[in-house]
Amino acid sequence: MAEEKKKVEVPLPKFPEPDTEPFWDAARNHELRYQVCDDCGGIVFHPRRHCTHCTSLNLSWKTSKGEGTVYSYSVVRQNYHPAFRERIPYVIALIDLDEGFRMLSNVVGVDDPAAGVSIGQRVRVEWLDFEGASLPAFTPA
């Protein structure tokens, strides 16, 4: 992880940003958090101040077990952004967490991205630590 800490050019979350700051605060402790509405029980993700299912403003943070399934993915083979260009080829994916929310992330820890990642594959969270933020990525379970 020490090596990765040097790659400060990876675009990291910026603050102040009140909606998402609690998510990223927890991420520094390697906790993957999402919101549940106290009034209707609906899951809210991306993080917000209001419930997107009912008119409630009463949301609670929960911690995910970090286990889920690959909903879809792509192997990125061209990106002009310098921080990502050096990682090519890498996998972006939509992950359906078992608690019922979907997030964009990377699937890491596979030798051959084209052969090692598939839709429906079970994955678990793997934290990538950078200076100032920890990013949740996923690895085959």
Partner 1 sequence: MATQQRDAAIVGIHEYPDRSVDGLTPLQIKAESAARALADAGLNWSDVDAIYDAGDGGPQGMAGLSISEYFNIKPNVIDTTSVGGSSYEFHASHAKRDIAAGKARVALLTYGSTARSQSFNIGTGGRMRGGPPSPLGNMEGSWGMTLISNYALVAHRHMHEYGTTSEQLAEIAVVTRAHAMRNPEAKRAIEELELMPAVREISVQDVIESRMIADPLRMLDSCFISDGGGAVIIASPNVARDCPHTPVWLLGAGEATKYPENGGDITHSAAAQSGPTAFGEAGVTPGEIDIAMIYDSFTITVLTILEDLGFCKKGEGGSYVEGGGLAFDKPGQPALNTDGGGLSSNHPGMRGIFLLIEAARQLRGDSTSQVPDAKLAVAHGNGGMLGARHSAATIILGRD
Instruction: Yes or no: say if 37 and 58 are a contact pair by the CB < 8 Å rule.
Output: yes
What ranges in 33-93 are assigned the alpha helix state H? 82-85
Rounded Cα distance, 44 and 3, in Å? 34
- Does 110 sit near partner 1 (CB under 8 A)? no
- Does 50 sit near partner 1 (CB under 8 A)? no
Rounded Cα distance, 17 and 111, in Å? 36
Instruction: Yes or no: say if 33 and 64 are a contact pair by the CB < 8 Å rule.
Output: yes
Q: Contact with partner 1 (CB under 8 A): which of 90, 121, 125, 126?
A: 90
- Does 37 sit near partner 1 (CB under 8 A)? no
Q: Contact with partner 1 (CB under 8 A): which of 94, 110, 129, 140?
A: 94
Q: Contact with partner 1 (CB under 8 A): which of 71, 122, 124, 132?
A: 71
| 108: exposed, middle or buried (Cβ count in 10 Å: 0-12, 13-18, 19+) | middle
- What is the smallest separation between the CB atom of 8 and partner 1, expressed in angstroms? 12
- Does 131 sit near partner 1 (CB under 8 A)? no
Q: Any idea which residue has 């019922």 for tokens?
A: 100
Residues contributing to the site for partner 1 (CB under 8 A): 10-17, 19-20, 23-24, 43, 45-48, 71-81, 83-84, 87, 90, 92-94, 96, 100-106, 114, 119-120, 133, 135, 137
